[in-house]
Structure 1
């Protein structure tokens, strides 16, 4: 009986929290609720730029019409996708946050960069997932694939944004 109860609990869907108001966010996500609009690129040339700390609500394209820079880590032919550029002056740990279910890759050159960490955003924040990448300086392509919705809120943030600098002794 105990095993049956444990199996039933494990199989039960996890309910989303009921939120009376959005949760306040800590750095580097404080600007998450602000946003502009963008049309995600269907090819690298002409893909819009993501600016660190500036979220956008992006219109996506059916994935079959997106020319990905590298094969997505996960692809859903019935989903939506899109491309963005991200330029960094120096190497950094960058988090890519999304408000809905989708796969996110960062491509340097023609190779997808392995993520170093991933997780959910704070409860009631509107951030569904955050995927972290250690990226070198330069221009990168951020790819969204397998999104069920035709739009996604996306934000790139530097892990060290607005962190206090240690005082020198």
Structure 2
């Protein structure tokens, strides 16, 4: 088995955890630590008040969640998930366009990766349509 690329090396350590928020006002209280994988707890879709309609919100049997991302340095940021879910990064009430999509490396348990071009500021990570209520999440800046 080959090693993960350096920007994904934190994937192998999953000692952190957070419970996502169900609405925008509470998302401010769920900070994502950049460069650290966390086991995220999500909520049933009917409990969610998504600030932006997800392109694939899932069904009432699926799960979603919100959390806050703070960026201090401009660059490409990757969101990696251990399961399937729709990923949005929200700024000023709008979903930002993604710059790349990929599956995780074959040597990993990463299911999905989506990249975004971000500048310094505060953002909301929105996950929707997950078939499970818990999944590993990593948000990291690419070199």
Please tell me whether residue 127 in structure 1 is matched to residue 110 in structure 2: yes
Instruction: Tell me the TM-score normalized by structure 1.
Output: 0.78
Task: Say which SS state the counterpart of residue 29 (structure 1) adopts.
Answer: helix
Task: Say which SS state the counterpart of residue 49 (structure 2) adopts.
Answer: coil
Structure 1: how far apart are the matches of 2:48 and 2:54?
Answer: 11
Task: Say which SS state the counterpart of residue 94 (structure 1) adopts.
Answer: strand
C-alpha RMSD of the superposition: 1.2
Structure 1: how far apart are the matches of 2:74 and 2:5?
Answer: 22
Structure 2: how far apart are the matches of 1:72 and 1:139?
Answer: 19
Q: What is the number of equivalent residue pairs in this alignment?
A: 139
Structure whose alpha-carbon radius of gyration is higher:
1
| Residue ranges of structure 2 left out of the alignment (5+ in a row) | none
Runs of 4+ with >6 A deviation: none
Q: Which residue of 1 aligns with 2:92?
A: 109
Q: Which residue of 2 aligns with 1:29?
A: 8
Instruction: Tell me the TM-score normalized by structure 2.
Output: 0.92
| Residue ranges of structure 1 left out of the alignment (5+ in a row) | 1-20, 161-169
More strand by share: 2
Listed one character per residue, the Cα deviations across residues 67-125 of structure 1 (whole Å, up to 9, x for unaligned) are 11211121112210000110111322100000001111000110000111000111131
Structure 2: how far apart are the matches of 1:124 and 1:66?
Answer: 33
